[in-house]
Amino acid sequence: MGIQMKYQIIGGIVRFAATTILDNINFEIRDNEKIAIVGRNGCGKTTLLNVIAGNISLSNLDSDEDCGIYMAGDLKIGFLKQIDFTDNTLSIEEEIMKVYEPIQLMKRRMDELVERMATDSSEKILNEYGKLSGLYESLGGYTFRQDMETIFQRFGFPLEDLQKQVMALSGGQQTRIAFVKLLLSKPDILLLDEPTNHLDMPTIEWLEGYLKNYNKAVVIVSHDRMFLDHIIDVTYEIEYTHMKRYPGNYSAFIQRKRLDTDKQEKDYIAQQKEIARLQKLVEQWKNTPTKVAMTRSKLKAIEHMDKIEKPTRFDTKAFHAQFSPRIESHKEVMRIKKLGIGYDHILSTVNLDVIKGEKIAVIGENGKGKSTLLKTLVGQIPALKGSYEYGIDVELGYFEQQMAQYSSEETVLDDFWNAYPNLKQTQVRTALGHFLFSGDDVFKKINQLSGGEKVRLALLKIFKKQPNYLILDEPTNHMDMIGKQALESMLRAYTGTVLFVSHDRFFIKEVATAMLVFEGDQVVYYPCGYEEYVIERQKKEVIVLESKAKEASRKLKTQASVGGTVGNRIDNPKDSSNPGKEEAKRKRQIAKLEEKIAICEEEMEELKDEILKEENGSDYKKLEILTNQIDEKEREWEELVEALDQLQ
């Protein structure tokens, strides 16, 4: 079966007023591809999603050029749009169940037909019921409730929240409910714009597996590099209004783009040298009658060359600043002892000694108190119990998420200068230039800035103080990939201490030297980076599985010593008239049982070894499969135990 083209844009142009956002773009969705759209902030990624969703039309549809949008059949396209719940007095369950209205209508019709069949068994009714029943099953009619509850809980909601009214939810929670509805609707093309924003790490990891195995097409705009690497088959980059397709995930795209650019650069230079050589010959011999034919052939050679364009430089413009702490702190930067964090009740209790030079990532589920911990440590909210204290000569710099919503009528220049009134104008302009505020950008009002620009300005004001202890709450939320890489580089070079909350695993991997993990009811410190932490977490999971396995094995061996049988039939020796024969049979059954136990144990060990292999460390889908296989082995053991119980 060949490749199916689901959706295609040919030669598309999008203009807003006199500004061209996308120019002569070609885009394809083939089969059930998982596609990433990447590029700098403001390059047109979300615009492209809106074109695919039908919210924006191409600007050149009426031209004579070969351009347009083509779809294979009547495709259902799903896009997480602005939240618009028409009736916020409904319960969350009622709002979500709107997704299943066609299935529910089908069920009501099937129930009507069942009632009619009690008095009318005509072929017409039977045929209609048969068709509806098959369609109902194929649409998940018998499992949709389970699907709904699973995804609802995966997005961090307890089942009892289904009975709450929509109006009781925060804006972020309403966004997650809209996301749940979108996934449950199972569109043919699923469009996701920054889907990992405001999701905690367990939910992101689950979403990766869900999208990877989604049996339809997915198009994702995201700055989460690890998320893209785990899901994507194809990457499209938008740069300087143009678009190019690369096979593979984000890391493969970066490598391929660099190789392509290097090759194009070399080919361009070689061709320019050849053109210069030919032109030199022409200039040298153009006035010599005997060389006229030769000079013409050289000119034709230049004319017929397939000209190689000079490669555009990487759009890697990013903020930068080499800053070091004004003074050094003492070795012990902070001591946190039995600190109860929360508002009206304790969410978690934290113990932690922060040592100079550490860069500690705070991770875990939402709602456990990660941001609350930071707010408590900077004195914004009181501790509910316990204590924390700073070490000697600690100077603090604090970044909070709300800085991306900072509002002011002041210009960028005045806002920064007011924070540092002793600086000269040239010093102010230089500092702002390092964070990409140059030229007329410095005269923009704060209220005109994007979230990412506000974050850059906030970080500049913090870094200019040269603190030796940074406390950062989701600093990369509004940054593009180049911006994240710039911040990673700065924090790696920073000689001070950092405590930061983030859900961006790639950022954590690049920066963190230690982890503070909110795990269930505990807050656990790991003196290692992210990759080592993942291995430690897997080891813990294996230890839990081993503990279960040993307990099951112990029970089996204990009961096997009494005797038993395994198979489709359990023979009761009490009913036998030949005790000697039955005793021999029983011994054979015990031996067979013990053999099966040994095989199970061996297979369990192999599965655990597979889990611990380095190449499987970040393959969450494979880890889930292996864990499920171990669970199956445990169930097999339970069946053996049950067989022994029946025999006894």
* pLDDT, tens digit (0-9, with 9 covering 90-100), for 215-243: 999 999 998 999 999 999 999 999 889 99
* Residues 628 and 484 reside in one and the same domain: no
Residue 179 lies in a domain: no
* Residues 436 and 493 reside in one and the same domain: yes
198 Rama sector, left if φ>0, alpha if ψ -120 to 50, beta otherwise: left
> What tens digit of pLDDT does each residue of 621-631 get?
555 566 666 66
* Residues 506 and 623 reside in one and the same domain: no
Q: What is the DSSP string of 453-512?
A: HHHHHHHHHHHHT--SEEEEESTTTT--HHHHHHHHHHHHH--SEEEEE---HHHHHHH-
* Residues 406 and 496 reside in one and the same domain: yes
Whether the per-residue pLDDT at 585 is higher than 80: the answer is no
Q: What is the mean pLDDT of residues 109-135?
A: 88
Structure tokens that stand for 489 in this block: 């580089």
Q: What is the DSSP string of 579-627?
A: HHHHHHHHHHHHHHHHHHHHHHHHHHHHHHHHHH-GGGTT-HHHHHHHH
* Residues 348 and 462 reside in one and the same domain: yes
Paired strand residues for 472: 399, 500
* Residues 445 and 507 reside in one and the same domain: yes
Percent of all residues in the chain with a pLDDT value above 90, rounded to a whole number = 46
Residue 371 lies in a domain: yes
Structure tokens that stand for 339 in this block: 């600190």
Q: What is the mean pLDDT of residues 557-569?
A: 50
CATH label of the domain that carries residue 496: 3.40.50.300
* Residues 336 and 299 reside in one and the same domain: no
* Residues 480 and 623 reside in one and the same domain: no
Domain total for the chain? Answer: 3
Q: What is the mean pLDDT of residues 528-539?
A: 90
Pairing relationship of beta strands 346-355 and 77-79 according to DSSP bridges = unpaired
Lowest mean pLDDT among 207-221, 478-492, 507-521: 478-492
Structure tokens that stand for 624 in this block: 């889930």
The domain boundary, picked from 528, 546, 562, lies at 528
Q: What is the pTM of this model?
A: 0.71
Summary mean pLDDT of the chain: 85
* Residues 271 and 411 reside in one and the same domain: no
> What tens digit of pLDDT does each residue of 48-64 get?
999 999 999 998 776 65
**pLDDT band, very low/low/confident/very high, at 578 (cuts 50, 70, 90):** low
Range of the domain at 584: 580-646
Residue 441 lies in a domain: yes
* Nearest 10 degrees: Cα torsion 86, 87, 90, 91: 50
The domain boundary, picked from 500, 528, 556, lies at 528
Residue 43 lies in a domain: no
Please name which of 424, 416, 354, 339 lies closest in space to residue 384, comparing C-alpha atoms: 339
* Nearest 10 degrees: Cα torsion 251, 252, 258, 264: -160
**pLDDT band, very low/low/confident/very high, at 41 (cuts 50, 70, 90):** confident
**pLDDT band, very low/low/confident/very high, at 2 (cuts 50, 70, 90):** low
* Residues 342 and 473 reside in one and the same domain: yes
* Nearest 10 degrees: Cα torsion 329, 331, 334, 335: -160
Residue 137 lies in a domain: no
Percent of all residues in the chain with a pLDDT value above 70, rounded to a whole number = 83
Amino acid letter for position 32: N
| Contacts for 100 with CB less than 8 Å, ≥ 6 apart | 144, 148, 184
For residue 239, count other CB atoms closer than 10 A to its CB. Answer: 16
Residue 178 lies in a domain: no
**pLDDT band, very low/low/confident/very high, at 96 (cuts 50, 70, 90):** very high
Q: What is the DSSP string of 536-588?
A: HHHHHHHHHHHHHHHHHHHHHHHHHTT----SS----GGG-S-HHHHHHHHHH
The whole-number pLDDT of residue 570 equals: 40
What are the start-end ranges of the E strands in 314-358?
Answer: 332-342, 346-355
**pLDDT band, very low/low/confident/very high, at 353 (cuts 50, 70, 90):** very high
> What tens digit of pLDDT does each residue of 378-417 get?
999 999 999 999 999 999 999 998 887 888 899 999 999 9
Amino acid letter for position 625: I
Residue 71 lies in a domain: no
Amino acid letter for position 599: I
* Residues 336 and 260 reside in one and the same domain: no
* Residues 292 and 339 reside in one and the same domain: no
Residue 50 lies in a domain: no
The domain boundary, picked from 463, 494, 528, lies at 528
Structure tokens that stand for 486 in this block: 């710039």
